[in-house]
Structure 1
Amino acid sequence: MTPVATPPDLRALTTLRFLAAAWVVLYTAWAYLDVGSVPVAVTKGYLGVEVFFVLSGFILSHVYLERAGAGGFSYGGFLWARIARVYPLHLVTLFAMVGLGIAATLAGVLVDASLTDWRALPAHLTMTHAWGLAPLAAFNHPSWSISAEWFAYLSFPAFAFVAWRLRDRPWLAVGLTALGALGVYAAFERLAGFPLTEATFRWGALRIVPCFALGCALYLVYRKAPLRRAALVALASAAGLLASASLALWDPVTVLFAGGLILGLGSLANERAGPLASAAGVYLGEISYSIYMVCAPVLLVMTNLAARALGADEKRFHVFVWLGILAAIPVAAMATYHLVERPARKALRGFAARKRPGQAGAPATADSPERVLQPSKTIV
């Protein structure tokens, strides 16, 4: 059997992970800023999660599709690699929020009751809390998207099966997937009464499906031949994404522009990617999963500390105080990345390699924010 080629280094997509995480953080943290208005693009920051979802489909296909189609794909090893990537930090942030809730309760401080709602704990522990199995949005709320990712990981062979059979007709795959996605978005909103792009704990597992499928289809275009005018496509897509978010167009329009941006940046050679391929950009992309996961607990702690220190009745702060609170998020993320995320991933992957030599799965780079690198350099 012909060896599967090593996936190339896609540095710009790693940096894009940070930009998507920063969009979500800005959306989450803006409520604590004492200003009279909110830019429309900020109110659409929840769509940063859609960027992650499309990226997941693209990069999982980038790393695993060839193996899944040509042979040599280990489903068990693949799932273990995904668990090693997302589960340790999920557990740490989950129990951090539990601890904060218990401490606040013992101290007599009024906090959101969901922090100590134990009914949701089993679903969080099994990463099924975005499958409609949790009674409410509890603990570390952003982790619903990790549950949705877990659903996509479990379903990856089905996505790969379809994608592999359309590998010689990539634009047909993109067209069919885009039309299907638009149909899902329209039908869901009509039936549920709210957009699928705003679903979390109840329908998060469904929310990832159209995005993940779009990412898989877009990868087929890249696989056949990276775009020749990649920079132009990336620039036009970025402009379209910003315009659609700023004008509050139908959310799926922004999702499609995000797909174009990912295809453009994925097709862009590293030497032409400028700051997006810089060491600083790639590092921020590497820690962006931590940024995303620590955002809620850091904001909970820092806003309460700031309100107490300033004697404020409301947790809305002057811009300089707010920026100081915001700066604590990447600092905490660097700590969790180097102390939890990276060493735990290495340990779990090493454990699998010792138990099943050669079966631990291909080095993976595609779930929540992480570096999109050649397997020899990957940090998963």
Structure 2
Amino acid sequence: MTPDLRAAVSAAPADTIRPLTSLRFFAAVWVILYSYWSALDGAVPIGLIEKGYLGVDLFFILSGFILSHVYMASLAEGRFRYDAFLVNRWARVYPLHLATLCFAILLWGAATLKGMTVDRNLVNWPSLPAHLFLVQAWGLAPEAAFNHPSWSISAEWFAYLLFPVFGAVAWSLRARPWVAVGLSVTFLISLYMIFETIMGFALTSATVFWGALRIVPTFMLGCALYLVWRADRLAPRLAVIGAAIFSLMVIVVASWGRIDALIVPLLGLMLLCVSRFANDGPLGNRVLVYLGEVSFAMYMVYVPWKWVYLNAMGMVLGTGDAPLPLLWWAIGLIAIVPIAMLAHHIIELPLRRVVRDLGDRLRYRLAYQLAR
């Protein structure tokens, strides 16, 4: 084994970077607040909340970083099993996606039977095959439909399929991690500028039709940031905390403008700083880590729950589609957490094990047949 490979193996411990798990919770809350803010009576524009859609890009950076943390060593050493990797990733995202997809269809059916007005994009049958195969963000779904946030899971699946490419490119720059980060940021900014010039809107606003492209620069940035983390070339802890606070302050200020190309790299810098926080520190406490673990369920259930809750409260309060008073709005928002906990423990975790077990059996059976 070469020195580089030994360094990669030793720099990728099996334990979780707990502060980054907690960071997932805050990313989910950011996205959810962005979506729910307009449903609050008397809500005023707040720059940071209006930029909540960038929470998805933070998830993408996290994904590139964490997958590199878990798999980069095996990829570099030649131990990476692409089939097992894809089974694990499919098991991670698909069961809850399928459950929320079915729930959206049931909602549409119930509302139609009751004669309620239904958003025409809640169900779009020509888009169903793309959603079933998790390719709706690849330009293969004619309309945004069903559980809309699932577009980002489709984009994640696109990145999973290409992870060996991302990993190989990142590994080639392992000796110059900050160069890798610089090149990633340059690529990100250039792609944002080119895309907006051609398409007339920001890539950070793309969902169904260009979501697979949106994840490419952020996932690549996450891989590059991991190289810096594994090289352990960051400043002392106090300086890291200061850099994280500074990044957050600049993000808050920049959120009042149209400069996503500045905010997204700063999110990456903040993530890198948080990754150096102690596992037993404030962001490593058990409550926040647990909330980070259920953040995927929070993200996947918040739109179906929003549709149910706002319609129900509109009928109970007699306000129709009008925004809700603060108390009822806050109750609906907070309720997402226990609903996500139920989805996490009743659907996500059990079905994840089922899918992994079926995938392993299929792989072993296929290997056995090929070996005969």
Query: Is residue 58 from structure 1 mapped to residue 65 from structure 2 by the alignment?
Result: yes
Query: Is residue 268 from structure 1 mapped to residue 277 from structure 2 by the alignment?
Result: yes
Whole-angstrom CA distance in 1 between matches of 2:359 and 2:155? 24
The aligned residue for residue 228 of structure 2 is 221
The aligned residue for residue 51 of structure 2 is 44
Query: Is residue 164 from structure 1 mapped to residue 171 from structure 2 by the alignment?
Result: yes
TM-score (norm 1): 0.90
Q: Which consecutive residues of structure 1, in runs of 5 or more, have no partner in the other structure?
A: 360-380
Query: Is residue 204 from structure 1 mapped to residue 218 from structure 2 by the alignment?
Result: no
Amino acid at match of 1:92: A
CA contact (8 A) 2:40 2:329 kept: yes
- The equivalent position to 1:17 in structure 2, one of 16, 24, 27, is 24
Whole-angstrom CA distance in 1 between matches of 2:87 and 2:54? 28
Amino acid at match of 1:350: D
The aligned residue for residue 373 of structure 1 is none
Whole-angstrom CA distance in 2 between matches of 1:298 and 1:155? 33
Residues 47-105 of structure 1, C-alpha deviation per residue, up to 9 Å, x if partnerless?
Answer: 00010000011111011111111111001110110000000000000110011011111
Amino acid at match of 2:107: L
Whole-angstrom CA distance in 2 between matches of 1:123 and 1:167? 37
- The equivalent position to 1:179 in structure 2, one of 178, 186, 203, is 186
Amino acid at match of 1:267: R
Q: 1:237 to 1:8 in 2, by over 3 A?
A: farther
Query: Is residue 259 from structure 1 mapped to residue 268 from structure 2 by the alignment?
Result: yes
The aligned residue for residue 149 of structure 1 is 156
Amino acid at match of 2:264: V
- The equivalent position to 1:304 in structure 2, one of 295, 299, 311, is 311
Count of paired positions: 355
Whole-angstrom CA distance in 1 between matches of 2:101 and 2:68? 29
- The equivalent position to 2:353 in structure 1, one of 346, 355, 358, is 346
RMSD: 1.6
The aligned residue for residue 127 of structure 1 is 134
Superposition map of 1:291-370 within 5 A: 291-354=298-361, 356=363
> Alignment partner of 1:270: what SS?
coil
The aligned residue for residue 236 of structure 1 is 246
Deviation at 1:36, TM superposition (A): 4.8
Range with bigger deviation, 286-295 or 323-332: 323-332
CA contact (8 A) 1:185 1:252 kept: yes
Whole-angstrom CA distance in 2 between matches of 1:353 and 1:148? 24
> Alignment partner of 2:356: what SS?
helix
Range with bigger deviation, 31-40 or 48-57: 31-40
Amino acid at match of 2:243: V
Q: Which consecutive residues of structure 2, in runs of 5 or more, have no partner in the other structure?
A: 367-372
Deviation at 1:279, TM superposition (A): 0.5
> Alignment partner of 1:60: what SS?
helix
Residues 137-181 of structure 1, C-alpha deviation per residue, up to 9 Å, x if partnerless?
Answer: 101011100000011001111101111111111111111111111
Amino acid at match of 1:81: N
Amino acid at match of 2:246: A
CA contact (8 A) 1:32 1:316 kept: yes
Deviation at 1:298, TM superposition (A): 0.2
The aligned residue for residue 289 of structure 1 is 296
Whole-angstrom CA distance in 2 between matches of 1:227 and 1:353? 39
CA contact (8 A) 2:195 2:202 kept: yes
Deviation at 1:25, TM superposition (A): 0.4
Deviation at 1:353, TM superposition (A): 4.2
Amino acid at match of 1:69: A
Deviation at 1:347, TM superposition (A): 2.3
Whole-angstrom CA distance in 2 between matches of 1:352 and 1:129? 23
Amino acid at match of 1:91: L
Whole-angstrom CA distance in 1 between matches of 2:276 and 2:260? 25
Residues 2-24 of structure 1, C-alpha deviation per residue, up to 9 Å, x if partnerless?
Answer: 88443343111001000000000
Query: Is residue 93 from structure 1 mapped to residue 103 from structure 2 by the alignment?
Result: no
> Alignment partner of 1:115: what SS?
coil
The aligned residue for residue 369 of structure 2 is none
Whole-angstrom CA distance in 2 between matches of 1:307 and 1:313? 4
Whole-angstrom CA distance in 2 between matches of 1:227 and 1:294? 37
Amino acid at match of 2:227: L
Amino acid at match of 1:95: C
Range with bigger deviation, 235-244 or 315-324: 235-244
CA contact (8 A) 2:40 2:325 kept: yes
Query: Is residue 248 from structure 1 mapped to residue 243 from structure 2 by the alignment?
Result: no
Whole-angstrom CA distance in 1 between matches of 2:294 and 2:129? 27
CA contact (8 A) 2:184 2:224 kept: yes
> Alignment partner of 1:152: what SS?
helix
> Alignment partner of 2:122: what SS?
helix
Whole-angstrom CA distance in 2 between matches of 1:323 and 1:109? 25
Query: Is residue 70 from structure 1 mapped to residue 80 from structure 2 by the alignment?
Result: no
CA contact (8 A) 1:49 1:145 kept: yes
CA contact (8 A) 1:303 1:315 kept: no
Whole-angstrom CA distance in 1 between matches of 2:322 and 2:110? 19
TM-score (norm 2): 0.92
